[in-house]
Amino acid sequence: MTIKPCSERNFSISMFDSSYGFEEYCNSVREYTNGILKNRGTSPLAYVRTFGCQQNEADSERLRGMLVSLGYLITDDEKLADCILVNTCAIREHAEIRALSFIGQYKHLKAANPRMIIGVCGCMSAEKHRVDQLKNSYPYVDFSLPPASDGLLPKAIYGAIKHRRDFTNLESCSEMPNIQPVRAEGSKAWVSIMYGCNNFCSYCIVPYVRGRERSRCSEEIVNEVKELVCSGYKDITLLGQNVNSFNGGCSFASLLRTLASLEGDFVLRFMTSHPKDVTPELIAVMAECPKVAKHFHLPLQSGSDRILKAMNRRYDREKYLSHVSALRKAMPDIVITSDIIVGFPGETEEDFEATLDIIDRVGFDMLYSFIYSPRKGTPAAEMENQIPREVQNNRFDRLLALQNAVGERRNKQSVGKTYRVLCEGPSKTDPSVLCGRTDGNKLVLFKGDAPEGKFINVYITDAEAYALHGNQI
Ligand code: SAH
Ligand code: SF4
Ligand code: F3S
């Protein structure tokens, strides 16, 4: 990934109550990076690897912003790096194992370059047992920082320079400095509008590792989006674990309305929404504002009321189906996608069939499905009737097979239609065609000559479960 150079940076909050404050840590690290620049003739390099969701991608962009402000240049080659940050995810065990395996490989890099600084950030570094594991079994890791603690990064790097290991806990980082992120190249941008989650779904680790909900102030968000549009970004996604409970000075629906009224040619997306908080006002804003993408990602998790209750989701299937009807009534072509968890504790065959039934009934355009993974410290991990792995796998396969058929059925309805598509350049899997996304976020592979970052119209000639095919017109 190539990274754009970062322009102005603005740190507004001093987060330390000791006599050595945020600015002093920043200045000390800058002295250090300047020293390297003088000796070597080039700035020291930093590498950030990201696991997990878009929120984590956005956090990594802020971490890169902070690193650049401290005098580092960003590299996409970890072997060349003087500082490596691993931004981890804790949502399922698999995500943690992957991150740990990457961190394990960095042992050799540190052995070859003992001055290399290695930090672990993100959701995994807010779990006590993982922090203990990092401290005890990964002696070459210099520090860990939980999510939303960018303001502590200068202090952690300073500690590493002084050979002092620093493993910070979640409580120490409730404020966020105002950092200009270093965004990935392209026409898409993430904008975090809130952090944390209050919902405590019984399976989920997020509220424990990201803390309670905090919304950014709406004016700050409006200014950021204005700047992005002026800089040429065309596809802007507002991020939060539950954007519908945004309360940074106005409701989420009204924030969306304000943003959609900004001048410029761009698409506005948002994720994620919790079904318990979807409002008629939000649906109306989506329907009325042409710049708001006609795509709703609405995680369902299960089609069984009994399981939804055990998950502490606070809606039932009827409520979910009523949202789907309201969305389709207001926007007949809306793309609806969802998340499903298979094999939650106590899920019977009947519960699972209720999930299959609602998938078919709604006709989701796309599903992200996951096998339930017990997370230490969450209520579901302590529940009886954990489902055996073979049963989970079998249900997962059946769900995928159904969704493939449903997704294909939905996509075939697009054949013969023309969509506005934001061109993302040549497809990675087949460079002979271009790829892009519709407003509904559907992947389109097409023949044409549009440059990256341009909106064009594509006539759809064919469709499969995960992509549309067509020609630029
Ligand atoms: N805040 C978002 C989702 C965040 S996590 C929301 O509420 O929709 C993304 C998805 O990961 C969840 O929707 C859920 O389907 C899945 N997930 C969360 N915890 C999980 C667990 N313990 N095991 C398996 N999947 C999980
Ligand atoms: Fe996790 Fe539920 Fe919060 Fe989403 S809403 S992050 S699933 S606790
Ligand atoms: Fe995202 Fe993973 Fe954290 S999904 S919120 S990075 S646990």
Q: How far is the CA of 54 from the centre of ligand 3 (A)?
A: 8
Q: Grade residue 1 by pLDDT with cuts at 50, 70 and 90.
A: very low
Looking at all shown ligands, the one closest to residue 93's CA atom is 1
CB 228, CB 237: distance < 8 Å: no
Task: For ligand 2, atom 5, name the residue with the nearest CA.
Answer: 199
Task: For ligand 3, atom 5, name the residue with the nearest CA.
Answer: 206
DSSP 300: -
Select from 93, 245, 341, 383 the residue to mutate for testing ligand 1; criterion: most ligand atoms less than 8 Å from CB: 341
Residue 162 C-alpha from the chain's centroid: 33
- Give the C-alpha separation, 460 to 59, whole Å: 36
Strands (E), 90-180: 117-122, 143-145, 166-167
> Average pLDDT of 95-118?
95
Q: Which of 365, 373, 438, 375 is nearest to 404 (CA)?
A: 365
Looking at all shown ligands, the one closest to residue 197's CA atom is 2
Looking at all shown ligands, the one closest to residue 92's CA atom is 1
The amino acid sitting at 382 is E
Q: How far is the CA of 355 from the centre of ligand 1 (A)?
A: 16
CB of 241 closer than 6 angstroms to any ligand 1 atom = yes
> Average pLDDT of 290-315?
98
Express each pLDDT in 155-169 by its tens digit. 999 999 998 888 876
Express each pLDDT in 129-141 by its tens digit. 999 999 999 999 9
CB of 55 closer than 6 angstroms to any ligand 3 atom = yes
DSSP 266: -
CB 13, CB 22: distance < 8 Å: yes
Q: Which of 266, 191, 272, 270 is nearest to 235 (CA)?
A: 266
Determine the 3-state secondary structure of 314 from DSSP. coil
Q: How far is the CA of 461 from the centre of ligand 1 (A)?
A: 35
- Give the C-alpha separation, 178 to 12, whole Å: 6
CB of 380 closer than 6 angstroms to any ligand 1 atom = no
Residue 50 C-alpha from the chain's centroid: 10
> Average pLDDT of 239-252?
96
Q: Grade residue 13 by pLDDT with cuts at 50, 70 and 90.
A: very low
Q: Grade residue 12 by pLDDT with cuts at 50, 70 and 90.
A: very low
> Average pLDDT of 44-60?
97
Express each pLDDT in 180-223 by its tens digit. 899 988 899 999 999 999 999 999 999 999 999 999 999 999 99
Q: How far is the CA of 301 from the centre of ligand 1 (A)?
A: 8
The amino acid sitting at 381 is A
State yes or no: cis peptide before 272, omega within 30 of 0. Answer: yes
CB of 91 closer than 6 angstroms to any ligand 3 atom = yes
Contact partners, residue 429, CB within 8 Å, separation at least 6: none
Tokens (6 digits) for 241: 């674990």
CB of 406 closer than 6 angstroms to any ligand 3 atom = no
CB 420, CB 457: distance < 8 Å: yes
> Average pLDDT of 447-455?
96
Mean pLDDT of the chain: 93
